[in-house]
Amino acid sequence: MAQRSIGIIMNGVTGRMGYRQHLVRSVLALRDEGGVRLRGGERVQVRPLLVGRDSAKLAELARRHDIADWTTDLDAALGDDQWDVYADFLVTKARVAALLRAIAAGKAVYTEKPTAETVPEALELAALAQEAGVPNGVVHDKLYLPGMRKLARLVRSGFFGRILSVRGEFGYWVFEGDGQPAQRPSWNYRAEDGGGIVVDMFPHWNYVLENLFGEVRSVYARAVTHIPTRFEENGASYSATADDAAYAIFELDGGVVAQLNSSWAVRVNRKELVEFQVDGTHGSAVAGLFGCRAQHRTGTPRPVWNPDLADAHDYGADWSEVPDNEVFENGFRVQWEEFVRHVVDGDPHPYDLLAGARGVRLAEAGLESSRTGARVELPPLEAPRVALANGAAK
């Protein structure tokens, strides 16, 4: 019997995320292992088609990784029924137009976040995908980080009792580009090119908060541009028109208060580039990308405020590491496997374009709050739920 396969149009594979996380760490890693294992134990092989604007770059990538198919003609790829899935890792600005074409062509779609630059566009994508009956998914990678999975384990076990608050610190220093090259593409710092830390990070915060603690019901945010001038790789300066830090308070369903700082202008003084502290009546935890340490109420020290006496207590020693207890694969790859099973077997995949639209809305509301100084309420987002579709793979 011929092996089943699923054809995946991969648009934007010359970019940072498209190349490293989606192509190399996910689709090629799965291909080299023989494909995605389905519920019944059988495998479906993944077949990538590289799409982009620069044929020389695509040809070189295809050669380097032994990939048979590449093209600069997206419409021809979308019109060819050997390809089942359209996957999008383009700059955010170029995303909606490409996704609309893919949905119209009846392809399953899988995309990086944010799904769109505006809420109406994000909702339109969700509604059109539902109408067309195409499976759709949006990257929720932070949920798959080992630290977040351990935190989710604690939440689900009831470890925290009643969860009171979440405080998160995300960020690191992104070099301005003079002297030392910046670690991120320059469009990230130009609002007119779809940049900004709110647009970049709030979609992540939305799915982290709603999947671990409760849907976001309101946001108050202050977004600022701390570094107004940055430098391209060729040394030319440019005006950083987008926010590079955001200080925000989110209120969640059930009354949890989450306060998250996001910044590309902060020097790291914590164990990991992101850390969330969760406090509950019965226990607390601090989770990062990889680690998660917890403190139960029975192990909580009794600090006494005394400005006259230096405090020798080692508060860090009061926390215990949550063990891995499982092997954590690359999160992008795990989500790709889930999405392929969703397309082929109809397994549930709740991280869809409507979830993506909620992320876009949180970013938009955060920027509105920053502009007006007001707290912005977020009623449940009404849009048609997306139907599951079976059998797109051959």
Ligand X SMILES: NC(=O)c1ccc[n+]([C@@H]2O[C@H](COP(=O)([O-])OP(=O)(O)OC[C@H]3O[C@@H](n4cnc5c(N)ncnc54)[C@H](O)[C@@H]3O)[C@@H](O)[C@H]2O)c1
Could you list the residues that contact ligand X (CB under 6 A)? 12, 14-18, 52-53, 89-92, 94, 112-113, 139, 141, 185, 200
Nearer to ligand X, 95 or 293 (CB): 95
Please report, as a single letter, which amino acid is at residue 365. Answer: A
Min dist. Cβ of residue 181 to ligand X (A): 14
Q: What angle do CA 124, 220, 252 make, to 5 degrees?
A: 75
Contact 154, 294 (CB under 8 A): yes
Nearer to ligand X, 91 or 383 (CB): 91
Nearer to ligand X, 29 or 94 (CB): 94
Min dist. Cβ of residue 143 to ligand X (A): 11
Nearer to ligand X, 164 or 289 (CB): 289
Min dist. Cβ of residue 131 to ligand X (A): 24
Min dist. Cβ of residue 162 to ligand X (A): 31
Min dist. Cβ of residue 282 to ligand X (A): 32
Nearer to ligand X, 92 or 206 (CB): 92
| DSSP run (H or E) holding 361 | helix 353-372
* C-alpha–C-alpha distance, residues 66 and 63, integer Å: 5
Contact 272, 255 (CB under 8 A): no
Nearer to ligand X, 18 or 35 (CB): 18
Burial of 108 (0-12, 13-18, 19+ CB in 10 A): buried
Min dist. Cβ of residue 29 to ligand X (A): 17
CB atoms within 10 A of CB 355: 24
Q: Which residues of 232-261 are buried (b: 16+ CB within 10 A; e: fewer)?
A: eeeeeeeebebbbbbebbbbbeeebebebe
Burial of 328 (0-12, 13-18, 19+ CB in 10 A): middle
338 contact partners, CB below 8 Å, separation of at least 6: 347, 349
